[in-house]
């Protein structure tokens, strides 16, 4: 704990279009977590500008950020981060509760999201009654349910075996093809190669930014 200010990211300039499927890669300490926090509106930059859908996120206060996250961002975490005491349906309903949707509509929308990830028959299961892959699907359904601008997946396969990991990546790919903007933060090449654009971060700087031509990804 020093008093010296560390800039986790410097001179990062990115322009991401709607519908892109982007992998952010980098070793630990590279600043990719910071980038993810900024993109996910969990944090604001000390200097610089972040515009999301034309709105300047950089100047927003806590409550505005919460609203933006609720509307625009769907998070998928490495450790799933489901609420342990709530069943799958209620976990997926959570963003809708915070956005103020009424109960009847909420249930239907959440049910649709769970069905779309193939868990329509598991809605009353609690997280500890589901497998790792199923939990991550619930998390993806939760990320999707508010039809956000961005789905932000932080090491989504990190706690899964490789076969299940592939299934999850395939699911994200389907979402991407349906027109969702998807970010995957990872340090595994195998995972990153699913994306059409790979941004590599090293020491807080963008080391490379390559886009594959369409149709080439897996």
Partner 1 sequence: MNFFVELKEGLAIAWDAIRANKLRSVLTTLGIVIGIVTVTLMATAIDGMNRAFRKSISVIGADMLYVNRTAWLTHTEVEWLKSQKRREITLEQANAVAKEMTLARAVAPVVGMNQSVIYKTRSSSSVQIMGSTDQFLNTSGFSLGEGRFMTAAEADGGRPVCIIGLDVATNLFINESPLGKKIKVGPRSMEVIGVLAKQGSFMGMQSLDNEVIIPIQQLLIGYWRNPDFQIQVKVAQLDQLDEAREELRGVMRKIRRVAPGDEDDFAINQQEQFITMFNRVAGTIAGVGLLITGLSLFVGGIGIMNIMFVSVAERTREIGVRKAIGAKRRTILLQFLIEAATICLLGGLVGLVIAWLFTFLLARALPVHLSLSVVGLALLVALITGVASGFFPAWRAARMDPVDALRNE
List residues near partner 1 by CB under 8 A.
Answer: 37, 40, 42-43, 62-63, 66-67, 69-71, 73, 75, 77, 81, 83, 85-86, 94-95, 97-100, 142, 146
| Nearest by Cα to 41 from 183, 195, 145 | 183
Residue among 73 and 172 whose Cβ is closer to partner 1: 73
Nearer to partner 1 by Cβ, of 50 and 77: the residue is 77
Q: Which is nearer to partner 1, 71 or 202 (CB)?
A: 71
Of 69 and 194, which CB lies nearer to partner 1 in the complex structure? 69
Alpha-helix runs per DSSP H in the chain? 32-39, 62-72, 88-99, 103-116, 132-144, 162-177, 189-192
CB of 141 to partner 1, least distance (A): 13
To which residue do tokens 């100047």 refer?
A: 59
Q: What is the DSSP letter of 197?
A: E
What residues contact 63, with CB distance under 8 A and at least 6 apart?
none
User: What's the distance, CA 6 to chain centroid?
Assistant: 25
Total H helices, total E strands in the chain: 7, 8
Shortest spacing between CB 16 and partner 1, in angstroms:
20
State how far the Cα of 154 lies from the Cα of 147, in Å rounded to an integer: 18
Cβ-based nearer residue to partner 1, 16 or 66? 66
How far apart, in Å, are the Cα atoms of 30 and each of 35, 63, 202?
10, 29, 5
Cβ at position 163, least distance to partner 1 in Å: 27
Q: Cβ 168 to partner 1, closest distance in Å?
A: 19
Distance in Å, CB of 29 to partner 1, minimum: 14
């Amino acid at each position: 704990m020093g008093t010296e200010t560390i800039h986790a990211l410097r001179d990062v300039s990115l322009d991401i279009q709607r519908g892109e499927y982007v992998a952010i890669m980098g070793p630990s300490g590279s600043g990719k977590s910071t980038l993810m926090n900024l993109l996910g509106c969990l944090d604001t930059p000390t200097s610089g500008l972040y515009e999301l859908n034309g709105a300047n996120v950089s100047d927003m206060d806590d409550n505005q950020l919460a609203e933006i996250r609720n509307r625009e961002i769907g998070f998928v975490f490495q450790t799933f981060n489901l609420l342990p005491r709530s069943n799958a349906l209620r976990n997926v309903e959570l963003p809708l509760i915070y956005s103020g949707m009424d109960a009847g509509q909420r249930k239907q929308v959440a049910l649709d999201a769970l069905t779309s990830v193939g868990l329509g028959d598991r809605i009353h299961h609690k997280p500890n009654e589901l497998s790792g892959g199923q939990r991550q699907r619930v998390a993806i359904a939760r990320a999707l349910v508010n039809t956000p601008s961005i789905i932000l997946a932080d090491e989504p396969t990190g706690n899964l075996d490789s076969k299940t990991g592939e299934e999850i990546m395939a699911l994200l790919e389907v979402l991407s093809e349906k027109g969702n903007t998807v970010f995957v933060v990872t340090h595994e090449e195998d995972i990153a190669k699913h994306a059409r654009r790979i941004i590599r971060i090293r020491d807080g700087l963008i080391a490379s930014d390559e886009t594959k031509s369409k149709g080439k990804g897996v």
